[in-house]
């Protein structure tokens, strides 16, 4: 019962903050709601027994990526709000239709699958005490060694790109 | 599907809803920074999906996968925001409807 | 088990990228450094390594497999890379492109492409895709003072990141079904398909991701803008390299792992292939910018290649490989010439810029003609054999209407290739800024591309045999 309360509470928070991210008037508000959304997701990870990932979520997402967003929001000190300009050719109605179609479709399919007889409900077992950081680390440096190296290459390439763009123009 | 007890499928539905929310944001908003943030929401939804399933299967591969997605999200954010700065320097706007130099 | 050999070609390219970065770091301001040479050494080395790995079927950690299929595309990528390096040496300084970053990112992108084709794990495929995509986004906007470049990079990035989120969600569903991201495990789970709906969802999302990267209709919107706004040399590189890598992974994932669900995705891809050929050709006819025109032509070519995937016989797969090579050589040649004639102030990318090229530069005009005829599918160039091979495979599999669409769209596309040719030969030169000189190595690269175009057009049997042998790895 406790788990059900936790799940529905967190789900409401995640989706609520998600809606606020995409509906907020100003980008700064959006960033704040994004942090709250990420934190709620991190709590879900703890509930699901992924403590290491929860810590990474807070450190990298909430601590790193979001701060980066904030910096950029401050840097591009906007003279007028982007929403002020209206493009007469913009098909907002079409966008809403497409978006709701995607939402309806994905949810319908997942709900349908989950309610299908082949998918009997599998209860989520209670998390292991002590965490699974060791297992995660073990996998990272054995089966996923190549992926790990490629990720480092990805970050290096991203770094080169970011420095290139952010450097002062001379 | 029942409301109780909570199964991994409940988490899948939550992830699907979050993903669709992010996709909606990308399609509807005009502020480029908010568009980027909507993409972050979509990546988070995928992670939620993976972690829930890693719980269901009882092994941690899904969590390792999710870690890589965090790295990819960081790299994408860095490059995306860099491009955004370069774009802003040239155009002085962040409205997606004013992205209009290249038209054929 | 030795894990190293399978990744040697990729490692060599990564090392040359690191060398390019180091060279730039130690370069004195104003000093010229032959960084392109470093890249050239790395790419030739990677090509040689791929040659020695042929038939060895080396594997690494169960996630990278250098089978003949991957090696064939590796060699195509090395050819693309070598030509890019040779042309870049002329272009980079003139176009105000920061050299060290440019070469490092190009080499990173090539290593990502090689890995994407050789990977047998969806997670590694995705990471490799991200390496190459991020590098190419940055390359698109590498001229920071150019507003068009920044806008092109921005559009490409936004749509690319959006589509890779879909791709990733597809991988997550495949993982949900199989409990693993290894292609063989996913394939087994798909074959038994206990959660058919989730499997379909995974297939659909993966197809969206691939369709975006190969710029198939309706996910092609970024292509003309990105190709027009990017520096021409980057357009030449990405229109060939990204396509080769994405098609390689597309064939591997869809024709081996997702083969059991063929009945569901083949009809959809058939429709997409038809639409891609039609849109690419019809809209291409209306363009007056050569880069934009070649962008639509590359969309049409994605349609022809998709036709090979739809007709998934041995011949169809081999035809895709052969056509990738043919397209790569001709397209990088044509766009390379545009790049070599352009400067930062005067990009030489309008149709009228080509007026009177025959008088001014007979050699370049002749080469351009050969490449354009190959893209249009004229005998005796490679394009004719490539198209014939693909359409024949489609007809043998019973896709008559698609083959007819393909032939008709080739005929229409000839019109816009010939517009450039007519401009070069039959029009008097307008008063335009002087075209820059083309260096010896760049001319040699173009001449090699031309020889390859004729060789593949006149004596294709040997290369086709290699292609047939390589696709045996995909079952």
Q: Do the beta carbons of residue C27 and residue C100 sit within 8 Å?
A: yes
Whether a cis peptide bond, with omega within 30° of 0, leads into C380 is: yes
* Burial environment of residue C345 by CB neighbours within 10 A (0 to 12, 13 to 18, 19 or more): exposed
pLDDT one-digit tens code per residue, A117-167: 444 444 444 444 456 788 888 888 888 899 999 999 999 999 999 999 887
Confirm whether the ipTM is greater than 0.90. yes
Sign of CA dihedral C26, C27, C33, C35: positive
Pick C72 or C180 by higher pLDDT.
Answer: C72
Q: Do the beta carbons of residue C392 and residue C308 sit within 8 Å?
A: no
Helix (H, G, I), strand (E, B) or coil at C141: coil
**DSSP character string of C185-213:** HHHHHHHH-SSHHHHHHHHHHHHHHHHHH
Smallest CA–CA distance from B75 into chain C, residue: C134
Per-residue pLDDT, B98: 72
Per-residue pLDDT, B1: 59
Per-residue pLDDT, C429: 76
Per-residue pLDDT, A105: 65
- Cβ B97–A18 below 8 Å, yes or no? no
Structural domains in chain B plus CATH codes: 8-94 (1.10.287.3510)
pLDDT above 70 coverage of chain C, percent: 99
For residue C7, the chain A residues in CB contact (below 8 A) are 146
Per-residue pLDDT, C454: 95
Per-residue pLDDT, A114: 58
Angle, helix C314-341 to helix C68-94, in steps of 10 degrees: 10
Domain extents in chain C: 5-473
pLDDT band per the 50, 70, 90 thresholds, residue A14: very high
Does residue A91 have a pLDDT over 60?
no
Chain B residues with CB within 8 Å of chain C CB: 12, 19, 22-23, 26, 32, 35-36, 39, 42-43, 45-46, 49-50, 53, 57, 59, 61-62, 65, 68-69, 72, 75-76, 79-80, 82-84, 86-87, 89-91, 99, 101-102, 104
- C142, C272, C126: which is closest to C206 by C-alpha? C126
pLDDT above 90 coverage of chain A, percent: 35
Quote the tokens at residue C332.
């990088």
pLDDT one-digit tens code per residue, C139-171: 999 988 888 899 999 999 999 999 999 999 999
pLDDT one-digit tens code per residue, C317-372: 999 999 999 999 999 999 999 999 988 888 888 888 888 888 888 999 999 999 99
How many beta carbons lie within 10 A of that of residue B24, not counting itself? Answer: 23
| Regions of chain B where pLDDT drops below 70 | 1, 100-104
C-alpha span between A148 and C125 (Å, rounded)? 13
For residue A130, the chain B residues in CB contact (below 8 A) are none
Which of B23, B44, B49, B72 to mutate to probe the C interface, most C CBs <10 Å? B72
pLDDT above 90 coverage of chain C, percent: 70
C-alpha span between C359 and A112 (Å, rounded)? 68
Whether a cis peptide bond, with omega within 30° of 0, leads into C218 is: yes
How many beta carbons lie within 10 A of that of residue A167, not counting itself? Answer: 12
Quote the tokens at residue A81.
């709000």
């Amino acid at each position: 019962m406790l788990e059900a309360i936790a799940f529905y509470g967190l789900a409401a928070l995640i989706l609520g903050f998600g809606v606020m991210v995409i509906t907020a008037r100003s980008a700064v508000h959006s960033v704040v709601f994004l942090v709250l959304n990420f934190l709620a997701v991190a709590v879900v990870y703890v509930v699901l027994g992924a403590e290491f990932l929860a810590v990474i979520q807070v450190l990298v997402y909430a601590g790193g990526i979001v701060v980066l967003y904030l910096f950029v929001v401050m840097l591009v000190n906007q003279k007028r709000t982007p929403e002020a300009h209206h493009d007469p050719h913009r098909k907002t109605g079409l966008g809403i239709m497409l978006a709701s179609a995607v939402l309806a479709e994905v949810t319908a399919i997942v709900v349908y699958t989950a309610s299908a007889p082949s998918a009997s409900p599998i209860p989520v077992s209670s998390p292991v005490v002590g965490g699974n950081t060791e297992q995660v680390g073990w996998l990272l440096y054995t089966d996923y060694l190549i992926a790990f190296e490629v990720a480092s290459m990805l970050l290096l390439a991203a770094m080169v790109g970011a420095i290139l763009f952010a450097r002062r123009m001379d | 599907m029942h409301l109780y007890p909570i199964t991994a499928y409940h988490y899948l539905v939550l992830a699907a809803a979050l993903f669709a929310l992010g996709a909606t944001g990308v399609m509807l908003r005009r502020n480029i920074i908010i568009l980027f943030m909507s993409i972050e929401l979509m990546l988070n939804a995928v992670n939620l999906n993976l972690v829930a399933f890693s719980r269901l299967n009882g092994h941690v591969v899904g969590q390792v996968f999710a870690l890589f997605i965090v790295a990819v999200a960081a790299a994408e954010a860095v490059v995306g925001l860099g491009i955004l700065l370069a774009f802003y320097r040239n155009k002085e706007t962040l409205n997606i409807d004013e992205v209009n130099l290249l038209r054929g | 088990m030795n894990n190293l050999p399978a990744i040697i070609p990729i490692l060599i390219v990564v090392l040359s990228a690191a060398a390019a970065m180091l060279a730039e770091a130690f370069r004195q301001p104003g000093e010229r450094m032959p960084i392109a040479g470093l890249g050239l050494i790395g790419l030739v080395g990677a090509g040689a390594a791929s040659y020695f790995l042929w038939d060895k079927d080396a594997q690494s950690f169960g996630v990278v497999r250098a089978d003949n299929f991957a090696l064939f595309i590796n060699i195509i990528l090395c050819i693309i890379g070598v030509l890019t390096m040779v042309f870049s040496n002329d272009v980079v300084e003139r176009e105000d492109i920061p050299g060290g970053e440019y070469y490092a990112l190009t080499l990173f992108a090539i290593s990502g492409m090689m890995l994407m084709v050789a990977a047998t794990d969806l997670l590694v495929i995705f990471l490799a895709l991200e390496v190459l995509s991020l590098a190419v986004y940055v390359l698109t906007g590498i001229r920071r003072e150019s507003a068009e470049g920044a806008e092109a990079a921005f559009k490409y990035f936004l749509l690319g990141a959006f589509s890779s989120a879909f791709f990733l969600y597809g991988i997550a569903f495949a993982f949900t079904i199989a409990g693993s991201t290894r292609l063989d495990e996913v394939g087994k789970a798909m074959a038994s398909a206990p959660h058919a709906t989730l499997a379909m969802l995974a297939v659909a999302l993966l197809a969206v991701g691939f369709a975006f990267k190969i710029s198939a209709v309706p996910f092609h919107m970024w292509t003309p803008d990105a190709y027009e706004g990017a520096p021409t040399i980057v357009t030449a590189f990405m229109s060939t390299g990204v396509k080769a890598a994405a098609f390689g992974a597309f064939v591997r994932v869809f024709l081996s792992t997702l083969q059991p669900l063929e009945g569901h995705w083949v009809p959809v891809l058939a429709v997409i292939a038809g639409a891609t050929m039609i849109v690419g050709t019809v809209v291409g006819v209306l363009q007056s910018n050569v880069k934009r025109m070649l962008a639509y032509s590359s969309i049409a070519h994605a349609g022809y290649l998709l036709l090979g995937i739809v007709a998934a016989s041995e011949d169809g797969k081999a035809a895709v490989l052969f056509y990738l090579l043919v397209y790569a050589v001709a397209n990088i040649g044509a766009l390379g010439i545009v790049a070599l004639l352009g400067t930062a102030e005067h990009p030489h990318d309008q149709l009228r810029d080509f007026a009177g090229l025959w008088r001014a530069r007979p050699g370049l005009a002749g080469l351009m003609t050969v490449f354009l005829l190959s893209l249009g599918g004229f005998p005796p160039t490679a394009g004719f054999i490539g198209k014939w091979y693909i359409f024949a495979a489609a007809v043998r599999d019973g896709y008559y209407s698609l083959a007819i669409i393909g032939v008709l769209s080739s005929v229409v596309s000839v019109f816009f290739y010939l517009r450039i040719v007519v401009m070069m030969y039959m029009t008097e030169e307008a008063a335009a800024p002087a075209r820059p000189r083309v260096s010896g190595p760049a001319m040699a690269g173009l001449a090699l591309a031309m020889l390859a175009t004729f060789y593949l057009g006149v004596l294709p049997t040997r290369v086709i045999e290699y292609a047939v042998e390589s696709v045996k790895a995909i079952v």
